[in-house]
């Protein structure tokens, strides 16, 4: 049976002080109450990867453990058990430290994975978690206090130090709340308190929150999903404050981006499902990472929905918009021919700089068929990205090539769309209605697409165009998008 043990604590000492002790693989006998004696085989140093320590537990049993990795830069080490009297099979553990924001305390995570016989799983999980890890936290605190390193030593006679985790604190923050469906004026900033994360959540201090057209539909009440009173927003970027008890692989201080079906992103601090979070690589700024949802949508449209190939043609409605300008750059990087609609010559210029070969400035109710057929030599487009809803769908189908595919990704008007399948049959057309979340519930797939996006941002194949607004001005941001005055993507920045 596979077992994961994950324990964490905050130690009241700076990270350098804590790491100075823990980095020595042979230091346990000084501070861990369960360890009686410890020595390195072949006199190896306590920071030498591959070295083996042999130690004797207080009860007399002996273990051998090997250091597998050691990083002074990351304040982390990994080790495995080579020999043990207990059936801790394939046991690999990681010790990782992170500075707490105030700089004077250290977050310590100790976690392991191993196999154990089913009838002993509970016993061994408890033994590792309590008698090794939690006892280790207590032991190190006492050791540091004895050295006089702690700022606040325990008073005499106090009960044994309690493992202090970050969990449980309510954090003050500000969030945009909508109490009624309607116009942008209903987006109001107010004070909130954010509870500790649930076991599978992380709490994030956000730095960049992208506005999606979906948020406007939620606010207006034409797209279901935002319960009132509620906070709009389905994606964000920030730094993890703390993690729930069952979260693996994410740590306080990690920079992450997420996208989530459930709204709630227009906030300074929020809790979100850990599975939706993607750690950010160093070369991607928080603002650029806030294009996650749109970038991932671009990737799945091209790669999965259309299975687009070089030389094919794609038409993107609102090509100068948030999704549009990322999709056109991505399509161009795949050698597609990109046609796009825009509502002004300024936007046409902008879209040309962002991968669109043929911007078409649309005028009210003028069909596009003549322009599209001219550009494609009468063939029509292979792929059409449709966001105007019922309006213009007939025109879209008329512009498709034989076997062409129209993906209806949005409906600005919120009107129902009817479809005559016999019309599709006449030229083997496809109409699909992809929604990004249905694809990205597959987390490995989401991570793959996100990393493709980040790689394209890092190597500047995609350069996001971003206009920022303070979080408290979310109403201005919505107003500007709805009056078609934005190019690129709009991002809200919470107050410091
Ligand atoms: N299905 C999915 O998974 C998915 C994922 C992401 C986005 N989307 C959809 O893709 C579309 C683009 O999303 P986005 O967040 O990047 O928004 P956006 O394109 O930045 O939205 C603003 C742009 O939409 C165009 N627009 C056309 N008619 C409009 C109208 N009546 N009112 C306001 N704007 C109008 C305007 O461009 P012009 O002035 O140049 O026309 C405007 O600049 C939206 O429909 C969204 O719902 C779907």
- Work out the end-to-end distance of the chain between its first and last CA atoms, rounded to an integer number of angstroms: 46
171-291+488-493 CATH fold: Quinone Oxidoreductase; Chain A, domain 1 (3.90.180)
In the chain, % helix, strand, coil (3-state, to 5) comes to 30, 30, 40
- Which residue, chain included where needed, has tokens 């992103």? 265
Q: Which residues belong to CATH 3.90.180.10 in the chain?
A: 171-291+488-493
* Residue 100, both tokens: 């707490």
Element (H, E) at 15: helix 15-22
Over the range 371-405, which residues count as b (16 or more CB within 10 Å of their CB) and which as e?
Answer: bbeebbeeebbbbbbbbbbbebbebbbebbbeebb
CATH top-level class of 2-146:
alpha beta
Q: How far apart are CA 180 and CA 230, in angstroms?
A: 9
Tell whether ligand 1 has an atom less than 6 A from the beta carbon of residue 356. Answer: no
3-class DSSP state of 44: coil
Closest atom of ligand 1 to 485 CA is 43
**Would you give per-residue pLDDT tens digits along the chain (496 residues)?**
889 898 898 998 999 899 999 999 999 989 999 888 899 998 888 888 889 999 888 777 889 999 988 888 889 998 999 999 899 999 999 999 998 877 788 999 999 998 999 899 988 998 899 889 999 999 999 988 887 644 443 344 433 333 333 445 799 999 999 999 999 999 999 999 999 999 999 999 999 999 999 999 999 999 999 999 999 999 999 999 999 988 888 888 889 999 999 999 999 999 999 999 999 998 899 999 999 999 999 999 999 999 999 999 999 999 999 999 999 999 999 999 999 999 999 999 999 999 999 999 998 778 899 999 999 999 999 999 999 988 899 999 999 999 999 999 998 777 889 999 999 999 999 999 999 999 999 999 999 999 999 999 999 999 999 999 999 999 999 999 999 999 999 999 998 6
Predicted confidence at residue 414, as pLDDT, reads 77
3-class DSSP state of 457: helix
Tell whether ligand 1 has an atom less than 6 A from the beta carbon of residue 323. Answer: yes
Tell whether ligand 1 has an atom less than 6 A from the beta carbon of residue 151. Answer: no
Predicted confidence at residue 101, as pLDDT, reads 77
Residue of minimum CA distance from atom 43 in ligand 1: 484
* Residue 301, both tokens: 């449209």
Predicted confidence at residue 160, as pLDDT, reads 34
Q: How far apart are CA 11 and CA 334, in angstroms?
A: 50
pTM: 0.73
Residue of minimum CA distance from atom 12 in ligand 1: 323
3-class DSSP state of 5: strand
Ligand 1 pocket test, candidate residues 318, 346, 465, most atoms within 8 A of CB: 318
Ligand 1 pocket test, candidate residues 215, 387, 434, most atoms within 8 A of CB: 387
Q: How far apart are CA 64 and CA 53, in angstroms?
A: 6
Ligand 1: centre distance to CA 213 (Å):
6
Predicted confidence at residue 187, as pLDDT, reads 98
Q: Which residues belong to CATH 3.30.530.20 in the chain?
A: 2-146
Predicted confidence at residue 169, as pLDDT, reads 79
Tell whether ligand 1 has an atom less than 6 A from the beta carbon of residue 320. Answer: yes
Tell whether ligand 1 has an atom less than 6 A from the beta carbon of residue 360. Answer: no
Ligand 1: centre distance to CA 447 (Å):
25
CA distances from 135 to 28, 126, 132 (A): 12, 12, 5
Q: How far apart are CA 340 and CA 359, in angstroms?
A: 5
Ligand 1: centre distance to CA 174 (Å):
27
Ligand 1: centre distance to CA 462 (Å):
19
* Residue 210, both tokens: 């992208």
Predicted confidence at residue 349, as pLDDT, reads 98
Q: Which residues belong to CATH 3.40.50.720 in the chain?
A: 305-438
CATH number of 305-438: 3.40.50.720
Ligand 1: centre distance to CA 396 (Å):
16
Tell whether ligand 1 has an atom less than 6 A from the beta carbon of residue 409. Answer: yes
Tell whether ligand 1 has an atom less than 6 A from the beta carbon of residue 298. Answer: no
Tell whether ligand 1 has an atom less than 6 A from the beta carbon of residue 490. Answer: no
Closest atom of ligand 1 to 389 CA is 45
Ligand 1: centre distance to CA 75 (Å):
44
Specify the DSSP class assigned to residue 295. H
Cis peptide preceding 229, ω within 30 of 0: yes
Ligand 1: centre distance to CA 317 (Å):
8
Residue of minimum CA distance from atom 42 in ligand 1: 484
Ligand 1: centre distance to CA 336 (Å):
21
Closest atom of ligand 1 to 489 CA is 20
3-class DSSP state of 116: coil
Minimal CA–CA distance to 318: which of 400, 235, 385? 385
Tell whether ligand 1 has an atom less than 6 A from the beta carbon of residue 433. Answer: no
Predicted confidence at residue 148, as pLDDT, reads 64
Minimal CA–CA distance to 50: which of 23, 7, 80? 80
Tell whether ligand 1 has an atom less than 6 A from the beta carbon of residue 214. Answer: yes
Write down the number of H helices and E strands in the chain.
15, 22
Tell whether ligand 1 has an atom less than 6 A from the beta carbon of residue 212. Answer: yes
């Amino acid at each position: 049976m596979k077992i994961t043990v994950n324990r964490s604590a905050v130690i009241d000492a700076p990270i350098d002080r804590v790491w100075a002790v823990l980095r020595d693989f042979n230091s346990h006998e000084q501070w861990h109450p369960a360890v009686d004696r410890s020595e390195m085989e072949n006199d190896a140093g306590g920071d030498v990867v591959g070295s083996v320590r042999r130690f004797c537990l207080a009860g007399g049993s002996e273990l051998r453990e090997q250091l597998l990795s050691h990083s002074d830069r990351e304040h982390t080490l990994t080790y495995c058990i080579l020999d043990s009297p207990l059936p801790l099979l394939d046991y690999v553990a990681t010790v990782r430290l992170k500075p707490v924001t105030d700089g004077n305390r250290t977050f310590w995570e100790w976690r392991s994975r191993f196999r154990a016989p089913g009838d002993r799983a509970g016993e061994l999980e408890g033994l590792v978690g309590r008698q090794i890890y939690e006892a280790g936290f207590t032991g190190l605190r006492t050791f540091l206090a004895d050295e006089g390193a702690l700022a606040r030593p325990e008073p005499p006679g106090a009960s044994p130090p309690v493992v202090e985790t970050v969990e449980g604190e309510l954090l003050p923050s500000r969030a945009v709340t909508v109490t009624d469906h309607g116009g942008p004026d209903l987006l109001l900033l107010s004070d909130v308190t954010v509870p500790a994360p649930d076991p599978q959540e992380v709490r994030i201090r956000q730095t960049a929150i992208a506005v999606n057209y979906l948020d406007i539909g939620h606010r207006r009440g034409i797209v279901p999903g935002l319960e009132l009173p509620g906070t709009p927003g389905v994606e964000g970027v920030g730094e993890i404050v703390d993690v729930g008890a069952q979260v693996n692989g994410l740590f306080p201080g990690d920079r992450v981006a997420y996208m989530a079906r459930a709204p709630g992103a227009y906030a300074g601090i929020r809790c979100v499902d850990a599975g939706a979070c993607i750690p950010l690589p160093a070369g991607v700024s928080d603002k650029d990472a806030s294009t996650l949802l749109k970038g991932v949508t671009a990737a799945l449209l091209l790669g999965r929905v259309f299975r687009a190939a070089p030389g094919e043609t794609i038409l993107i409605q609102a090509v100068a918009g948030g999704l549009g300008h990322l999709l056109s750059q991505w399509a161009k990087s795949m050698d597609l021919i990109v046609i796009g609609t825009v509502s002004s010559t300024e936007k046409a210029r902008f879209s040309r700089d962002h991968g669109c070969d043929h911007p078409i400035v649309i005028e009210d109710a003028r069909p596009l068929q003549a322009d599209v057929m001219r550009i494609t030599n009468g063939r029509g487009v292979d792929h059409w990205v449709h966001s105007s809803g019922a309006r213009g769908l007939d025109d879209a189908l008329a512009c498709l090539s034989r076997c062409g595919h129209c993906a209806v990704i949005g409906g600005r008007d919120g009107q129902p769309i009817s479809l005559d399948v016999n019309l599709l049959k006449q030229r083997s057309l496809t109409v699909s209605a992809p929604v990004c979340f249905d694809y990205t519930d597959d987390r490995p797939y989401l991570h793959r697409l996100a990393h493709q996006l980040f790689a394209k941002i890092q190597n500047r194949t995609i350069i996001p165009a971003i206009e920022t607004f303070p979080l408290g001005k979310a109403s201005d941001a919505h107003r500007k998008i709805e009056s078609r005055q934005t190019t690129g993507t709009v991002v809200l920045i919470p107050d410091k």
